[in-house]
A and B are shown apart, each in its own frame.
Chain A
């Protein structure tokens, strides 16, 4: 029952026209919600969460840094999945999604790098350290840039989308190896505080605002992707009947 509903959704959202109407319904309440959640998480984390006994107030940058870093990773995985879907089913929407995800993902990777550098100065005593996680985030940023450069270089949008899909699929496999190779190479970064399974080593007063701002960033990501996908769809389908019916 659930499975058949999911597959029906999947096929329906694969149609540009249906996707456009779906985004029409979702976006008007999704973007205010995304802003509200992000603002809640950030204000709570930056102003009301307790001070860290060791790092003082400088730790508060994690309320931006961690959501940005996890969003950047998640975005790249999403591009890889879209790449796989496109390789198997040649779905137009998957190409549009890759093109829509890349810029915001790259932005998040850049934010993670910059906030990491700002936090590194008071804590490690330097803006840039060749630490494993910083370095793999830098490489993730490069991978995003590569996908965007490839999309820009190929004039035919369908071909560009498929090429970017294959590249991000290869990149996803590679990003795992990059992560482990770089960790083996040199690590200074603290271990993971958030755990999906088991108890997180963070008090709930800090964890709650962090999770809220993560959710907020994910929602903002979704809003950005929907908006970009809409614009891309209008351009790609400009000659089709359903776009002409819009005005």
Chain B
């Protein structure tokens, strides 16, 4: 009940302000495009850099988008209403995370293969990149939401959020970029993809509870 209500509310709100969905995607593409300009357009060099570059850009795009996850609700008072409601905060938070993944994670997932192609990744590596980003972005959003919940009431949330959350992103980056390099070298990838999936499931089960606790702390009750 509260899951579908929150989900449809989030999607409707985003639908009415579509720029907020597009911006993280533009950011993602631009950051990746800076690397060939800054490093070198040599295909073999770009292909070795590609997994890390795409992952770091995706990580930053998620981080920036997650900063505003609870801010609007905090400012208009909707968050207070949620906190004082008799139901558990877990389900609405889970719905918000799912909605946020559909709105910002999914576009990144769909764009990743194109960027992989532009960076001269081989075809099997592009396929694995797609799956890895698909499995990894939910984890990034769930972990970022914990930081967003803790910093929602602070003026200078953005830079602080990245200090809190970036160290937590290390495993996703290591496995996500590592598996693409594996694929590029023709090594088996299913084990590492399973680890990424495990991290996604664990973070989506546990993070809403931490986010709910963080929101209660930030609102001071």
Contacts and interface: CB of A to CB of B under 8 A. Distances in A.
A101 to B, nearest CB: 17
A163 B147 CA distance: 10
Contacts of B199: 177
Given A142-B167, A174-B171, A181-B171, A154 B154 contact: yes
Nearest to A144: B167
Interface string B144-185: 001100110010100010011011101100110010000000
A163 B214 contact: yes
A172 to B, nearest CB: 11
B18 to A, nearest CB: 32
A145 B167 CA distance: 10
Interface string A122-136: 000000000000000
Given A87-B213, A162-B217, A170-B146, A181 B175 contact: yes
B167 A146 contact: yes
A167 to B, nearest CB: 6
Given A150-B150, A153-B160, A177-B199, A163 B168 contact: no
Contacts of B166: 142
Contacts of B167: 139, 142-143, 146, 171, 174, 178
A145 B206 CA distance: 24
Contacts of A170: 143, 146, 168, 210
Given A163-B217, A166-B214, A170-B210, A153 B156 contact: yes
A174 B168 contact: yes
Interface residues of B, number: 26
Contacts of A29: none
A170 to B, nearest CB: 6
Nearest to A177: B171
A31 B160 CA distance: 35
B11 to A, nearest CB: 28
Contacts of A235: none
B220 interface: yes
Contacts of B164: 146, 149-150, 167
Interface of B: 143, 146-147, 150-151, 154, 156, 160, 163-164, 166-168, 170-171, 174-175, 178, 199, 206, 210, 213-214, 217-218, 220
Nearest first, the 7 A-B pairs at minimum CB distance are: A181-B171, A142-B167, A181-B174, A146-B164, A162-B217, A177-B171, A163-B150
24 contacts: A142-B163, A146-B167, A149-B163, A150-B150, A150-B164, A153-B154, A153-B160, A154-B154, A159-B217, A159-B220, A162-B217, A163-B150, A163-B214, A166-B210, A166-B213, A166-B214, A166-B217, A170-B143, A171-B167, A171-B168, A174-B143, A178-B171, A181-B171, A182-B170
Given A150-B150, A159-B218, A162-B217, 17 more contacts: A142-B166, A145-B163, A149-B163, A149-B164, A150-B151, A153-B160, A166-B146, A166-B150, A166-B210, A167-B146, A167-B150, A170-B146, A171-B167, A171-B168, A177-B199, A184-B174, A184-B178
Interface of A: 87, 139, 142-143, 145-146, 149-150, 153-154, 156, 159, 162-163, 166-167, 169-171, 173-174, 177-178, 181-182, 184-185
